[in-house]
Structure 1
Amino acid sequence: MAEHPIQGLMTTAMESIKDMVDVNTIVGDAVQAPDGTVIIPISKVTFGFAAGGGEFNSKSKAGIECDDSGKRPVESEGNGKFPFAGGSGAGVSINPVAFMVVGQGQIKLLPVNVNSSLEKILDFIPELIEKANDAYKKKIKIKKELKACEKNAKEEEDEEE
């Protein structure tokens, strides 16, 4: 069976998409900073594809043509095959999503979207806990120092009497 013309359209469009989109489009080439940190861009790739076509002839249907007056059907002298018309199209959208930063003994995912604050919050939780512990330790130390000062003040009062 002969290949239908729309198969050629679809094959061409799909090969073009294949050439445009590969893993390096999604996870980009790594960039090394002077301090040894490696930055890897990560993108979101979206694509759409459509193809369509049809066989038609303005004067005939199913191998029957109209006569010169356009009123009476007569058999077609052609092979009964209609001409094909079709088209295809594709679109690709690439949007940066985040940057993976690897260096200084840690890996961080820095989102590009400002609305992705949840990841930022999760990154700051350990730092927040550490600061809360430091503040608590300072508070305990201040309380001990206050008690020591009060004790010294009371002892000085007792000695004066």
Structure 2
Amino acid sequence: MAEKNQKINSLIDSSLGRLDELADVNTVIGKPITTASGFQIIPFSKVTLGNLSGGGEYGDVKIVKETDTFPFAGGSGAVVSMKPMGFIIDDGKSCKVLRLTDEPLDNLIERAGEIVRDVLSKNE
């Protein structure tokens, strides 16, 4: 029984071991962008991770020769979703959070003028 559990544990460990690489801090909080006027604009995102692992045995199958790995069957999969949520704007004196709505790219295009005006007005 311990040998059977080891197979599924190994499968789960190998799939979970890679998820922390996907949720790197630079993925959630982006690298700061420094403007010519000295502002720092830091993007942030929502990262969602999902993992599914499972396995089982075929039972008494007489067609195929039994080996160390047979009759075990297993599989795993992962899903990663990244959604831009907004920006942190640091002018050196204060920080402002600029949130995006449900459609981040549409909102970013619509608010581009506002963002530029806001940054320029603080520069004056």
Per the normalisation by structure 1, the TM-score is 0.53
Deviations 1:134-158 (A, max 9, x none): xxxxxxxxxxxxxxxxxxxxxxxxx
Once the two structures are overlaid, the 10-residue window that deviates more, 22-31 or 104-113, is: 104-113
SS of residue paired to 1:113: coil
Task: Tell me how far apart the structure 2 counterparts of residues 82 and 27 of structure 1 sit (CA, whole Å).
Answer: 44
Deviation at residue 24 of structure 1 after TM alignment: 1.7
Relative contact order (alpha carbons < 8 A, sep ≥ 6): 1 or 2 greater?
2
Specify the alignment match of 2:112 in structure 1: none
Task: Tell me how far apart the structure 1 counterparts of residues 99 and 6 of structure 2 sit (CA, whole Å).
Answer: 46
Q: 1:40 aligns with which of 37, 42, 65?
A: 42
SS of residue paired to 2:17: helix
SS of residue paired to 1:25: helix
Deviation at residue 107 of structure 1 after TM alignment: 1.2
The structure number with the bigger radius of gyration is 1
Specify the alignment match of 2:52 in structure 1: 50
Once the two structures are overlaid, the 10-residue window that deviates more, 2-11 or 89-98, is: 2-11
Specify the alignment match of 1:24 in structure 2: 26
Please tell me the residue identity of whatever aligns with 1:92: V
Which 5+ residue runs of structure 1 have no aligned equivalent? 61-77, 116-161
Per the normalisation by structure 2, the TM-score is 0.68
Which 5+ residue runs of structure 2 have no aligned equivalent? 104-124
Specify the alignment match of 1:121 in structure 2: none
Please tell me the residue identity of whatever aligns with 1:112: L
Q: Report runs of 4+ in structure 1 exceeding 2 Å deviation.
A: 57-60
Once the two structures are overlaid, the 10-residue window that deviates more, 104-113 or 86-95, is: 104-113
Specify the alignment match of 1:122 in structure 2: none
Q: 1:91 aligns with which of 55, 73, 79?
A: 79
Q: Percent identity?
A: 36
Q: 1:13 aligns with which of 10, 15, 25?
A: 15
Specify the alignment match of 2:96 in structure 1: 108
Q: How many residues are treated as equivalent by the alignment?
A: 97
Task: Tell me how far apart the structure 2 counterparts of residues 102 and 53 of structure 1 sit (CA, whole Å).
Answer: 49
TM-align CA RMSD: 2.5
Once the two structures are overlaid, the 10-residue window that deviates more, 42-51 or 13-22, is: 13-22
